[in-house]
Amino acid sequence: MSYMDVKTAADRWELTERRITTLCRDGRIAGAKKEGGLWLIPDDAEKPADGRRNKSSRAMKTTAKLPLPIGVSDFKELVSGYYYVDKTLMLKEFIDSKPKVSLFTRPRRFGKTLAMDMLKTFFEVSDTDTSKYFKNKKIWSCGEEYRREQGKYPVIFVTFKDIKFATWEQTYTAIREIIANEYLRHDVLLTSDKCNDFEKDYFRKVVDGTITEVSMARAFLELSHMLNKHYGRPAVIIIDEYDTPIQQGYTEGYYEQITGFMRNLLSGAFKDNSNLSYGFLTGILRVAKESIFSGLNNLKVNSILEDRYSEYFGFTKDEIRDIMEYYGRTDKYEEICEWYDGYRFGDTDIFNPWSVLNYMDENCSAKAYWQSTGDNSIIRQIVAEADDETADNLRKLMQGQMVSSYVDTSVIYPEIRNNPTTIYSFLLSAGYLKVVKKDELHDGNAICDIAIPNKEIFYVYEKEILSALTNVISQSTAIAIQQAIIKQDVPKLQDNLQKLLLNSISSFDYAHENFYHGLILGICAIMNNLYRVDSNRESGHGRYDIQLRPYDKKMPGIIIELKVLKDGVAESRIDSELEASAKEALAQIERQQYVTAMKQQGITHFFKVGVSFYKKHVKLLSDTE
Q: What is the DSSP string of 222-288?
A: HHHHHHHHHHSSPEEEEEESTTHHHHHHHHHT-HHHHHHHHHHHHHHHHSS-TTEEEEEEEES---G
528 and 402 within one domain: no
What confidence category does residue 2 fall into, taking pLDDT thresholds of 50, 70 and 90?
confident
Q: Is the pLDDT of residue 25 over 80?
A: no
Q: How far apart are CA 208 and CA 190, in angstroms?
A: 14
570 and 492 within one domain: yes
The pLDDT value recorded for residue 349 is: 94
Average pLDDT taken over every residue of the chain? 85
182 and 56 within one domain: no
Q: Who contacts 20 (Cβ-Cβ below 8 Å, separation ≥6)?
A: 6, 9, 10, 13, 29, 39, 41
- What are the angstrom distances between the C-alpha of 472 and each of 187, 392, 491, 519? 57, 18, 21, 9
Q: Is the separation of the CB atoms in 194 and 234 below 8 Å? A: no
* pLDDT tens digits for range 444-465: 678 889 999 998 988 777 666 6
Strands (E), 475-554: 531-535, 538-539, 542-543, 546-550
Work out the average pLDDT over 505-517. 56
- What are the angstrom distances between the C-alpha of 156 and each of 208, 277, 369? 19, 11, 32
Amino acid at 137: K
Q: Is the separation of the CB atoms in 302 and 104 below 8 Å? A: yes
* 94 located within any domain: yes
Work out the average pLDDT over 194-220. 96
* 501 located within any domain: yes
48 and 85 within one domain: no
- Sign of the four-CA dihedral 419, 425, 431, 432: positive
The pLDDT value recorded for residue 568 is: 83
420 and 388 within one domain: yes
Nearest residue to 447 via CA among 408, 417, 401, 416: 408
Residue 279 three-state SS: strand
* 241 located within any domain: yes
Nearest residue to 130 via CA among 111, 153, 113: 153
Tell me which of 345-349, 358-362, 384-388, 578-582 is least confident.
384-388
* 618 located within any domain: yes
Helix (H) or strand (E) holding 438: strand 434-440
Give first-to-last CA distance, the chain, whole Å: 49
Q: How many CA atoms does the CB half-sphere of 200 hold within 13 Å?
A: 12
What confidence category does residue 24 fall into, taking pLDDT thresholds of 50, 70 and 90?
confident
User: Radius of gyration (Cα) for the chain, nearest Å?
Assistant: 29
What confidence category does residue 225 fall into, taking pLDDT thresholds of 50, 70 and 90?
very high
The pLDDT value recorded for residue 559 is: 92
Q: How far apart are CA 475 and CA 482, in angstroms?
A: 10
Work out the average pLDDT over 486-499. 82
Q: How many other CB atoms sit within 10 Å of the CB of residue 624?
A: 9
Amino acid at 163: I
Work out the average pLDDT over 583-602. 93
412 and 279 within one domain: no
Domain final residue, candidates 310, 345, 363: 310
Identify the CATH number of the domain in which residue 56 sits: 1.10.1660
What confidence category does residue 6 fall into, taking pLDDT thresholds of 50, 70 and 90?
confident
Phi, psi of 124 (to 5 degrees): -75, 135
220 and 283 within one domain: yes
Tell me which of 255-269, 397-411, 425-439, 543-557 is least confident.
397-411
* 366 located within any domain: no
Work out the average pLDDT over 121-125. 98
Q: How far apart are CA 520 and CA 496, in angstroms?
A: 12
Q: How far apart are CA 351 and CA 318, in angstroms?
A: 11
Query: Residue 391: which domain range?
Result: 376-458
Q: What is the DSSP string of 62-92?
A: TSPPPPP-TT---HHHHHHHS-----THHHH
Tell me which of 33-47, 48-62, 122-136, 390-404 is least confident.
48-62
**What proportion of the chain, given as a percentage, has pLDDT over 90?**
49
The pLDDT value recorded for residue 61 is: 41
Q: How many other CB atoms sit within 10 Å of the CB of residue 480?
A: 20
Helix (H) or strand (E) holding 523: helix 513-525
* 360 located within any domain: no
* pLDDT tens digits for range 382-429: 666 666 677 677 767 876 789 998 887 776 666 666 665 677 888 888
Q: Who contacts 334 (Cβ-Cβ below 8 Å, separation ≥6)?
A: none
The pLDDT value recorded for residue 94 is: 96
Q: Is the pLDDT of residue 148 over 90?
A: yes
Q: Is the pLDDT of residue 295 over 70?
A: no
55 and 152 within one domain: no
608 and 478 within one domain: yes
* 356 located within any domain: no
**The 155-159 sheet, strands edge to edge:** 155-159, 235-240, 276-283, 101-105, 299-302
The pLDDT value recorded for residue 28 is: 79
184 and 82 within one domain: yes
What confidence category does residue 377 fall into, taking pLDDT thresholds of 50, 70 and 90?
low
Identify the CATH number of the domain in which residue 495 sits: 3.90.1570
Q: How far apart are CA 14 and CA 47, in angstroms?
A: 10
Phi, psi of 485 (to 5 degrees): -65, -50
Q: Is the separation of the CB atoms in 316 and 350 below 8 Å? A: yes
262 and 125 within one domain: yes
The pLDDT value recorded for residue 516 is: 75
275 and 155 within one domain: yes
Domain final residue, candidates 458, 489, 517: 458
The pTM of this model reads 0.73
Q: How many other CB atoms sit within 10 Å of the CB of residue 455?
A: 17
Residue 302 three-state SS: strand
The pLDDT value recorded for residue 43 is: 83
| Total of domains in the chain | 4
Q: How many other CB atoms sit within 10 Å of the CB of residue 105?
A: 25
Work out the average pLDDT over 102-119. 95
Nearest residue to 266 via CA among 248, 293, 247: 293
The pLDDT value recorded for residue 284 is: 86
Select, from the ranges 9-23, 25-39, 132-146, the one with the highest average predicted confidence (pLDDT).
Answer: 132-146
Domain final residue, candidates 426, 458, 490: 458
The pLDDT value recorded for residue 336 is: 96
What confidence category does residue 510 fall into, taking pLDDT thresholds of 50, 70 and 90?
very low
* 420 located within any domain: yes
Tell me which of 67-76, 288-297, 354-363, 370-379 is least confident.
288-297
